[in-house]
Amino acid sequence: MESAEKRIEEIIAILSEANSSSRTALKHETPLQILVATILSAQCTDEKVNQITPSLFQKYAKPSDFASADKQELEAEIRPTGFFRNKAKSIINASKKIVEDFGGKVPDNMEDLVTLPGVARKTANIVLSSAFKKAEGIAVDTHVRRLSQRLGLSKEKDPDKIEKDLMKIVPKKYWLDFNYMLVNHGRKICMARKPLCPQCGVKHLCPSAKNFYSEAELNP
C-alpha cells in the first residue's frame, strides 16, 4: 500500500466523481443559519435538523433574536435534536458575542469564530466553507474521522490532530470539498458498522477493506 501522500490525489479524484455534492446537507441561507444548524447537528442527523430549522429561522432571523431568546423556550424548540440544553446555551451565548463583539455579523475567519461559545474548529470550518467559501482547514466530523482512519490518512483520534494530518497531505485547492467527499462516501458506502467495501471505488487504496471482507468478496 502506497503512502497516504501518494494515494490522496487518486482518492480525491475517485470520490469527487462519485460524490457530486460539494455542500453541506444542512439547509441554510445565511451565515447565522449555518452556524446555528451546525451547532444543532452535533449528535443529530442533518435530516432532523432540517425539520426544525425553517420555523426556527423564521422566528429568530438575526443574532439579536437568538441573543434575547428565552432559554427554556428555545430549549423546547430544539429539543428533538438532543442535548438541547447545551445547544440552546451555546446558540444564545454565541449570538450575544456576535452582537456585542462583532457588530451583529457572524465572523468570517477562524480566529474569531472559535471564540464563540460552542464553536470549535469543526463548526468553524463548516461555517467558513458553506457561508463564505473560505478554506482555513478541513472539518472533521464523525464521518471524516472514521474514513481518515480507515483509509490510512491519519492514525489520530482527536479531531484537531486528524485535521492537521489531512491538511498536510490534501492539496489546499480541495479543502473546501474534502469534508463533503468523505461525508457523502461515509453515508452511502463506508458506514460505521458494515461498510460496503465490494462496491467501494477506493477499496484498492484502502488498507482497512481486508478487515471487513475476504479477497474473493472484494474482487469477485
Q: What is the pTM of this model?
A: 0.88
Q: Measure CA 103 to chain center.
A: 26
Label residues 203-219 b or e (16+ Cβ within 10 Å = b): bebbebbeebbeeeebe
3-class DSSP state of 51:
helix
Nearest to 208 by CA among 145, 141, 140, 147: 147
Task: Indicate whether 38 and 112 sit together in one domain.
Answer: yes
Q: What is the mean pLDDT of residues 188-208?
A: 95
CATH code for the domain of 44: 1.10.340.30
* Structure confidence at residue 210 (pLDDT): 92
Q: For residue range 109-141, list pLDDT tens digits in order.
A: 999 999 999 999 999 999 999 999 999 999 999
Q: Which domain holds residue 13?
A: 4-22+139-218
Res 1: pLDDT: 67
Residues marked active site are found at 122, 141
Residue 186 DSSP code: H
pLDDT over 70 percentage in the chain: 98
Note whether 80 and 124 are same-domain residues: yes
